[in-house]
Chain A
Amino acid sequence: MIDKNLAPSRYQALKFGLWIGMASITMMFAALTSAYLVRRPAGNWYEFKLPVQFFVSTIIIIASSITMEWAYKSLKNQNQKNYNYGIVLTFGLGILFLVSQILSWKALVASGITIDLSVSGSFLYALSGIHAVHVIGGIAAIMVCVANAFLNSFTVSSMRLLKVDLVRQYWHFVDILWIYLLLFLILQ
C-alpha cells in the first residue's frame, strides 16, 4: 500500500496519524474519568479496595513495554535473534496482562463487588474493560509483527522499521494509559 520510495513526508504522515488516533483515545478516557469525578461527590458511592491483581497487571505491562523497546532496538541493529525473542516476549506478556485483568475482575466478583452493585464498581469495570479492548488491538498488531518475524525473510527496510515503530508507540501508549488509570483510581 505504501511505497517506501515516496517522499519521507509520507512516513511522517503515518506517525502523525497514529498520534492523532492516540489523542482521540485519550479524549475517550478523559471523558470517562471526568464522568467519574463528577459522579463521585454526588454521594451514594461505595468505597472498596482495588484487588491486588491490578498491581500485578501493572508490573506485567511495564515489563512488556521494556521488552518491546528491546525488540525495536534489536531490529534497528539488525539483530534477528534478539528481535524475535523480544517481540514474542512482548506478545506473551500482553496476553498475560489480559489474563491478569480477568483475574482481577474475578477477584472483584468474589469479594461481592459485581458490576451492577454500585456505580463506583461499575466505573472500575468500565475503565479497565474499555482499556482492555485497546490492549487487544495492540496485541493484534504485535501478532502481525510476530507472524512477519517467522514467516518472512529478515530484512530491515525502513518501511518495516516504521511499522514496528508504530506498534511500539501504540503499545507504550496503552501502557501509560493503564498506569494513568491506576493512579487515578488510587488517588480518588
Chain B
Amino acid sequence: MSANHSPLVEKDKLIQELGYDDHFHEHHHGDKYQTNFLTTYIFSQDHKMIARQFLMTGIFWAVIGAAMSIIFRLQLGYPDADLSWLKPVLGKWITINDAGIGRLEPEFYYALVTMHGTIIVFFVLTAGLSGTFSNLLIPLQIGARDMASPFLNMLSYWFFFLSSVVMFYSLFLSTGPFSGGWTAYPPLSALPQASIGSGAGMTLWTVSLVLFVVSVLLGGMNYITTILNLRTKGMSMWRMPLTVWAFLVTAILGLLSFPVLASGFFLMLFDRSLGTSFYLSDIFINGQALDRIGGSPILYQHIFWFLGHPEVYIIILPAMGIVSEVLSVHARKPIFGYRAMVYSILAIAFLSFIVWAHHMFMSGVNPFISNFFVVFTLIIAVPSAVKVFNWISTLYGGNIRLNTPMLFCIGFVSMFISGGLTGIFLGNSAIDIQQHDTYFVVAHFHIVMGVAAFFGMFAGVYNWFPKMFGRFMNETLGKIHFWVTMIGAYAVFGPMHYLGMAGVPRRYYRFDNFDAFKDFTDMNKFITIAAIITFFAQLLFVVNFFWSMYKGRKMTEQNPYGSNSLEWTTPIETGHGNWPEKIPTVQRWAYDYGKDNKEFIQQHVPLAEGEEHSSH
C-alpha cells in the first residue's frame, strides 16, 4: 500500500524511549476483565470489545430496519400485488381476500414506517455509529488505556441491549408495535385507545427509548470525561484527530438534548397512565368528546424537536469526523483547515439548539417567531459549507487512494451537498408551506442524514476493520457495495424530490386511488425496484463483513495505511490496556502527511532537527 514503513522495531523503540510509564503492568487489574469467556466476550469492560458489540447490534438492527422499508416500498410501488408470500413472516398482518390476494394491513403499514424510522435513527445511526466508533477510537486515538469508567461503559451497552430487546419484543405484540410515526406526536401516542399500536406498542416504545436515553447518557458521560481527562502526554486538544473532536461534541449534544426528550417522555407516560393532560385537549373519539382538556400537543413537538434537531447532528457529526480522518489519510494530505473544521463543528453544535422549530413551521407556531428560526436554520448552512469546502480542498491535488473507505468518504461529501441544498429550501418557512410533510422532506433527510451517515459509518467500518478484527474486508466486494449503494441511493431518493414538489404527502398507505397522485405509479415502481437492488447490496456488505472476520486478508503490519494517529501504534493483536508497555507520548498533530518529503510522520515521532510544528 504505502512505501515508506519504517521497521516496526524502530517505532516501538520510540514508545519505549519517549513513552509515558503509568505502571500499568504492575497492577493486575488490567486483565481481571478478561479472565473467562463471559468477561471477555459478553460482559466485557474493554472498550474495543464494547465497540464491536455496538457494531454487531447495529448491524442486526440495520438489516431489520432496511427489510421493513422494503416491505412498505413494495406496498407503495405495487399496491395491488399479491403479498401472500410474506404471510410466513408477517402472519396476521397479511390478510388474504376472497380472490386469494394477500394484502398488507394498513395498520401494520404504519407500524412498519414507524419502526423503520425509530430503528434507523436511534438504534443504527446513534447507537450503532457513535457507540461503535466513540468506543473504538477515543481511547486508542488519545492514548488512553481505556475509558474513564469501563464499568459504566459496559452498562451503556447493556442498557442499549435491553432497550433493543424491549423494542424487538414489541414487534410481536398481537396489537402490533407503535404505529404513529417515529416522532410519536400526541394524541396518537398519548391516548392508548387512539389506534391499535397506541396501546401496548406505544408503552413498550416509550420504555425502550427511556432505556435508550440512559444508554446514551452513560456512554456520553464516559466519552466526554475520557477525552477531557485521560489524554496522553503531549496530546493537547489542538492535536487531536478530528474524529475525537467530533465524538466529543456529539457526546455533549447528546447529554444536553436527550434528558429533555426523557422529560417529554415522562409527561407522555403521565398522560397515558395517570390521566393528566399535558399534551391533550379537545379530543373527540368516535364523535365523543373526551374530558381531557388543557394540554397542548404543540408542547410535545417543542420538546421532541429540541432533542430531535440536535439528534440529527448527533448522527451526522461522528460521520463527519470519520470522513475528515479517512479522507486525509487516503488522500495523503493534511486535512485542509483543521481549525476551521473544529470551529465549524462547534458552530453547528451550538446552532443546532436554536433551530428546532423549523420542524414546526406548519404546526401553528407564530409566523413572527418562525422568522427567528428561519434565520438561524439558514445560518447553519455556513459552517456546513465550510466543512464541504475543506473536504474538497483536502482531496484537491491529493495522492488519492481510491479504496473502499475513500470511495465512501467521497460519497458522503456528495450526499451531504445534495441533502444540504434541499435543507435550504425547507428552511424557508414560506417554501416549507408547500413542502412540509411531503416526499420532499423524506428525500431531504434520507440523503443528508440517512445515506450520508451510513456512508460515514461504512467508511469507518472498512477503514478500521483491521483494527477491530485483525483482517481486511474484501476490496472488490466493497467497491461493488459502494457503487450500487451510491447509484441506488440517488435512484431511490432523487425522484422523491419530484414527488414532493408535486405535493405527494408522506405516510400514505397507497397513492393510486387519488386522482392527483395516480400519475406517479411508474415512478413509485421505479423507486421500489431501486430500493430492492440497494437492499441487496447491503446484504453483500453483511456477507463481506462476516466472511472477512474469519477469512479476510490478514493484517501483517501495525500501520497498514501509513496513518499518523495513535491507534496504529498498538500491536496488531491489541490486548487490554492497548499498549503492551508504555503509552506513547504525542509530539505533533495528527496530520503531518507529505511534510518535509516524508509521506507521513506518526504522532509519536519527535520533531526532527530544525523541524517546526506544522502550522494549522
Seen from chain A, the residues whose Cβ lies within 8 Å of a Cβ on chain B are 1-3, 5-7, 9-10, 12-14, 16-17, 20-21, 23-25, 27-32, 35, 38-39, 42, 44, 115-116, 118-119, 122-123, 125-126, 130
Contact = CB atoms under 8 A, between A and B. Distances in A.
A122 B275 CA distance: 9
A27 B266 contact: no
Nearest to B28: A3
Contacts of B260: 27-28, 30-31
Given A1-B149, A31-B263, 17 more contacts: A1-B29, A1-B151, A3-B29, A7-B22, A13-B225, A16-B228, A17-B149, A17-B222, A20-B220, A20-B221, A23-B255, A24-B255, A24-B256, A27-B255, A31-B303, A35-B267, A39-B278
Contacts of A9: 229-230
A13 B226 contact: yes
A28 B259 contact: yes
A116 B225 contact: no
Interface string B143-175: 000001111100000000000000000000000
Contact of B221 (A17, A115, A118): A17
A130 B277 contact: no
A20 B365 CA distance: 33
Nearest to B251: A20
Contacts of A13: 148-149, 225-226, 228-230
A140 B202 CA distance: 30
Contact of A115 (B258, B264, B270, B302): B270
A123 B262 CA distance: 15
17 contacts: A1-B149, A1-B151, A3-B29, A14-B149, A16-B228, A17-B224, A20-B225, A20-B255, A27-B256, A31-B264, A31-B303, A116-B274, A116-B277, A125-B270, A126-B267, A126-B278, A130-B266
A27 B229 contact: no
Interface residues of B, number: 44
A1 B27 contact: no
A24 B258 contact: yes
B296 interface: yes
B19 interface: no
Specify the main secondary structure of chain A where it touches its partner: helix
A119 B257 CA distance: 24
A21 B256 contact: no
Q: Which of B152, B220, B259, B303 has the most CB of A within 10 A?
A: B259
Contact of B148 (A17, A21, A31, A44): A17
A27 B299 contact: no
Nearest to B254: A24
Contacts of B217: 21, 24
A35 B299 contact: yes
B276 A39 contact: no
Contacts of B270: 115, 122, 125-126
Nearest to B148: A13
Nearest to B281: A44
Nearest to B302: A38
B428 to A, nearest CB: 25
Interface string B570-590: 000000000000000000000
Contacts of A118: 294
A36 B211 CA distance: 25
B23 interface: yes
Contacts of A42: 296
B294 A25 contact: no
A103 B126 CA distance: 42
A120 B259 CA distance: 22
Contacts of A23: 255-256
A78 B283 CA distance: 63
Contacts of B302: 35, 38
B293 A21 contact: no
Which A-B residue pairs are the 8 nearest by beta carbons? A116-B275, A13-B148, A28-B259, A13-B229, A122-B276, A31-B260, A31-B263, A17-B225
A12 B230 CA distance: 9
Q: Which of B27, B224, B228, B260 has the most CB of A within 10 A?
A: B260
A39 B296 contact: yes
Contact of A10 (B230, B266, B274, B303): B230
B97 to A, nearest CB: 44
Given A6-B22, A14-B149, A44-B293, A122 B255 contact: no
Contacts of B225: 13-14, 16-17, 20
Contacts of B256: 23-24, 27
A13 B259 CA distance: 21
A10 B294 CA distance: 50
Given A6-B22, A27-B256, A35 B263 contact: yes
Contacts of B192: none
A12 B226 CA distance: 10
Q: Which of B150, B220, B299 has the most CB of A within 10 A?
A: B299
B503 interface: no
Nearest to A33: B263
B133 interface: no
A21 B216 CA distance: 11
Contacts of A44: 293-294
B306 interface: yes
Given A17-B149, A20-B224, A31 B229 contact: no
A12 B227 CA distance: 12
